Amino acid sequence: MSILIKGAQILDGNGNSPFKADILVLKDKISAIGDFRGHRPAETVIDGFGCYAAPGFIDVDTDSDHYLTLFTNPGQEDFLKQGVTTIFGGMCGYSLAPLVYGSMESVREWSESERLNVDWRTTKEFLSSLRRMTLGVNFGTLSGHLSMRQNIVRKSRALSGQEMKILSALLDKSLRDGSFGMSSSLGYAAGEDIENEEIVELLKTVKDRNGIYSTHLRDYGDGLIESVKDSVGAAVRSGISTIISHFEPYSVSAKKYEQALGIIGENTAAADIHFDIFPYDTSVVVLSDLLPKRILSESVAETLARLGKPGYIKQIQSFWSKNKIDPETMVIAGAPKNDYVVGKSIREFSQNRGLEPAEGVFELMRLTRMRGTMAVKNIDEKLIEKGLLHSQSLIASNSTSFDPSEKFVHERSKNTFTKYLEIATKSLSIEIAVKKITSVPARIFNLKNRGLLKEGNLADLVLIRDNRIKDVIVSGKIAVRNGEIENSAAGQVLKHDVKKKR
């Protein structure tokens, strides 16, 4: 197939000033950029007048694997409509591979994992299974530290020397199979007792295989500064490109946020460290995040039993007050096996049961057996722009593309990147704003043929008019035309090449 885009303003992704030109796409590549007036017309001609042409956007932190929408909604059309052509999963310590025992228990809080027939164990087999799908976007994965670790030992105790060797070998094979790096979460209950030294040791394996590291901080609250220093220190010591996941200005630590940004900025010469952020004041958290870690037990039944005891209730109320968590602002975002409550506010859910909002949260936990997610307004809106415009920020939805029939879909699933452009272009030039969502993440993830609009690169392209997405091309095929989906089956499964150095 050949496509000719005529007369667009070219944003190359490198931050250079735009220039007017035509773009010729042959098969899945950008064949030529120039003035093609008078040449034989292509099979499809797109009028680019009044539009910017840019590389396809890259979302560095999504939950499309955690929610299993890669399988239930493979077109991932919400990403395409906002110009995203490449997404990454396997974040926050949890990935769909490798699975030593074939169990997806680690993603049970997000999805009904038991519904999926798992026909893989290794990362290589997982990627092969995905290639049999018709994905709408390109997809790559990291290897989840907690998913791998829980295949070896269930408790978050220190690993023995032999267990550490097994974990390192499992990670090494996953990287050789095509994983782009490792993700961790020392902030979840499963990771709270894991020492930083374990992560630093595993990063040696990641570095040997030219991978990257993504981390969910140990503490986004009172311990924010210490947690950022730990992550910056690990990046400096390991020499690995590092991304701090969903580094939002949470209300509980808003006064420390600018100091934390300063620590990251001060260390850019010593470490290739970045953070991802979305432009909204609401986050979606798993239900267990609404409880103090000391209340959580490996036994769900034991955790739920504690919710009815006055002493524990007092601890929870203190935890909510300290972390500025207000049940009145909560909306049920996900409830596996209990879809009928999704989309309801906790106030509505509680009133239907004759309960106060706080007790309603506990009742939801009992109903779902601690499986589910909650939308919580817990981000300081006044500081979001400061994070978005920071030199080291990357943009991420930290979400997925849900089926249109879903009862609750947060706006960031649909408009993260267009909202970012709307905000950023008030302070930055369009070419610099686009660089942050194209060539910068492509460099970090070592994508050699994406992220730049240049001859010979894969034809992942976006046409932008007035900060809105007009057309999207994925692998040389038109995915979105005039804002409407035309083809949501052109995505590719990406495989990290461990031999490619940065």
How far is 282 from 345, CA to CA, in rounded Å? 14
Burial class (CB in 10 A: 0-12, 13-18, 19+), 117: exposed
How far is 251 from 379, CA to CA, in rounded Å? 5
Q: What is the pLDDT of residue 498?
A: 87
- CB of 461 within 8 A of CB of 45? no
Going from N- to C-terminal start, the domains of the chain cover 2-54+456-485, 57-281+380-444, 286-376
Calculate helix-pair angle for 161-177, 123-131, nearest 10 degrees.
30
How far is 213 from 231, CA to CA, in rounded Å? 10
Q: Average pLDDT for consecutive 10-residue bins of the chain (502 residues)?
A: 95 98 97 89 94 98 95 96 98 95 80 83 97 96 96 86 96 98 89 89 96 96 96 95 97 96 96 97 91 87 91 92 89 92 95 94 95 92 96 97 86 96 97 98 96 98 96 98 95 92 69
Count of CB atoms situated within 10 Å of the CB of 483: 12
For 108-180, where are the E strands, in sequence order?
138-141, 143-144
Burial class (CB in 10 A: 0-12, 13-18, 19+), 34: exposed
Torsion of CA 282, 284, 287, 290, to 10 degrees: -30
- CB of 65 within 8 A of CB of 89? yes
- CB of 495 within 8 A of CB of 71? no
Q: What is the pLDDT of residue 493?
A: 98
The H or E element containing residue 376 is: strand 373-377
Place of tokens 């049999």: 132
Q: What is the SS3 string spanning 433-488?
A: HHHCCCHHHHHHCCCCCCCCCCCCCECCEEEEECCEEEEEEECCEEEEECCEECCC
Phi-psi region of 72 (alpha: psi -120 to 50; beta: other; left: phi over 0): alpha
Spelled out in words, what is the top-level CATH class assigned to the domain 2-54+456-485?
mainly beta
How far is 188 from 199, CA to CA, in rounded Å? 15
User: 57-281+380-444 falls under which CATH superfamily?
Assistant: Metal-dependent hydrolases (3.20.20.140)
Tokens of 56: 């396809």
Q: What is the pLDDT of residue 293?
A: 84
- CB of 285 within 8 A of CB of 316? no
Topology agreement, domain 2-54+456-485 and domain 57-281+380-444: no
Burial class (CB in 10 A: 0-12, 13-18, 19+), 76: buried
C-alpha closest to that of 383 among 243, 259, 248: 248
Q: What is the pLDDT of residue 144?
A: 97
How far is 87 from 66, CA to CA, in rounded Å? 13
- CB of 56 within 8 A of CB of 32? no
- CB of 429 within 8 A of CB of 421? no
How far is 207 from 380, CA to CA, in rounded Å? 35
Q: What is the pLDDT of residue 502?
A: 65
